Amino acid sequence: MNIKPLAFRMRPRSIDEIIGQEHLVGEGKIIARMVKAKQLSSMILYGPPGIGKTSIASAIAGSTKFAFRTLNAVTNNKKDMEIVAAEAKMSGKVILLLDEVHRLDKAKQDFLLPYLENGMITLIGATTSNPYHAINPAIRSRCQIFELKSLVTDDITKALERALHDEERGLGAYKTEVSYDALTHFATASNGDVRSALNALELAVISTEPDESGTIHIDLQIAEECMQKKSFSHDKDGDAHYDVLSAFQKSIRGSDVNAALHYLGRLVEAGDLVSIARRLVVIAYEDIALANPQAGPRALAAVEAAERLGFPEARIPLANSVIELCLSPKSNTAIVAIDAALSDIRSGHSGDVPDHLKDAHYKGATELGRGIDYLYPHDYENGWVKQQYLPDKLRSKKYYKPKKSGKFEQALASVYENIEKKK
């Protein structure tokens, strides 16, 4: 058995062998042009795990014949970088693949920057995090940033078939028959992660006894057993996690039940009850709010039920809440109103509290003019009397602008408009 996993052995040796990422390595595309001209610039490749960041880096090095070294920004120290720098001085240029580049500390960064400036080291940084959020500007400004896309099922199937027939690096030395259903499962259950698909295929081949003719048969059941831990990929700390949460809220806001349930399912499959709970309660008060004021308490009740039940049963109250929130009338007037008020305050537009509203529950308040001429609303018909409440400089300001998408806010709007007319 080869010690190195199949995914490592099957890394492309040139950009012609790269599967997917046509927008970067296809004919006439940016990385292909760089390689053809042998004019590489430092770059950062980012995207989900297992889609070819390291493969592209090794393929670039293989296509250009430059020395290629791999380090990790977390586990490798400054001494390791000094060794790469010494090699760059001797050979003239080294391509350095730096994994987890967003974790590069200041000491390593300061050491690396001069070599990036003079071109002796061409950095290819790999990260699953959005570099515009996670990478120090000093490094980011010296690199081109390329986003890698998730591989589609056909891409992964192509990689699997290539590995099955490659006798030098792959599984071609084995006499193997993989059913169509099994191959499809490897390609789809990996969720775009070609690394996990290849390694699961290798596990299936080397752990399955051949028949009397020496043939190894891989069926759907074997594929499911080998892929079970990778049937769904979700990094709770990565960009993909926040993208799913964003899509989840926007789908509910847009009243798309099916999309919202899909994203809920992804979060449930990831076991992320905390994020689901927080987001549902936020949605209930941000996007539904006064159009259906009971949505908030009911969302909270669903969250509490889910927390008591735990997964897998927790999915049931969560789904109930998602469907209700999707199909509820929507209003964002509360968040818009408070944000408008905060905007004025933070911009210095506040002013003094009117004297008649100031606290008058202390000795000497009257002498200071505090609370004088205050009109107590309960002494008047319908509990309302005309008087000024906002500071003078904001006396005509209106923050709340009601919508009439739900019966409750329609009623509020009617009262609000009546009061404004009386003013």
**Tens of pLDDT, residues 204-214:** 999 999 999 99
Question: What is the C-alpha separation between 384 and 402, in angstroms, rounded?
Answer: 20
Residue type, 320: N
pLDDT of residue 230: 44
Is this model's pTM higher than 0.95 or not?
no
pLDDT of residue 234: 53
HSE-up (13 A, CA, CB side) for residue 395: 8
DSSP designation for 123: E
Nearest to residue 102, comparing CAs of 136, 147, 149?
136
Which is more confident, 48 or 264?
A: 264
- Using 50, 70 and 90 to split pLDDT, how confident is the model at 106? confident
The β-bridge partners of 72 are 99
* Average confidence score pLDDT of the chain: 88
- Using 50, 70 and 90 to split pLDDT, how confident is the model at 326? very high
pLDDT digits (tens, 9 = 90+) for 5-45: 998 899 888 888 888 888 988 889 999 998 888 888 899 99
Q: Is 147 helix (H, G, I), strand (E, B) or coil?
A: strand
pLDDT of residue 237: 52
Instruction: Return the number of other C-beta atoms located less than 10 Å from residue 373's C-beta.
Output: 9
Question: What is the C-alpha separation between 67 and 24, in angstroms, rounded?
Answer: 22
Residue type, 64: T
pLDDT of residue 166: 93
Structure tokens at 245: 């949460």
DSSP designation for 242: H
- Using 50, 70 and 90 to split pLDDT, how confident is the model at 223? very high
- Using 50, 70 and 90 to split pLDDT, how confident is the model at 291? very high
pLDDT digits (tens, 9 = 90+) for 378-404: 988 888 899 998 998 888 899 999 988
The answer to which of 78-82, 245-249, 364-368 has the lowest mean pLDDT is 364-368
Backbone angles phi, psi at 150, to 5 degrees: -60, 140
Instruction: Return the number of other C-beta atoms located less than 10 Å from residue 376's C-beta.
Output: 8
Say if CB 366 and CB 372 are below 8 A apart: yes
pLDDT of residue 366: 77
pLDDT at 273 over 50: yes
Which is more confident, 88 or 52?
A: 88
pLDDT digits (tens, 9 = 90+) for 155-190: 999 999 999 999 999 999 999 999 999 999 998 888
- Please work out, in degrees rounded to the nearest 5, the angle formed at the alpha carbon of residue 289 by the alpha carbons of 297 and 273: 50
Structure tokens at 84: 């790469």
pLDDT of residue 404: 86
| CB < 8 Å & 24+ apart, contacts of 357-366 | 357/389
pLDDT digits (tens, 9 = 90+) for 124-164: 998 888 888 778 888 888 899 998 888 888 999 999 999 99
Strands of the sheet with 43-46, listed across from one edge? 67-72, 94-99, 121-127, 43-46, 144-147
- Using 50, 70 and 90 to split pLDDT, how confident is the model at 236? low
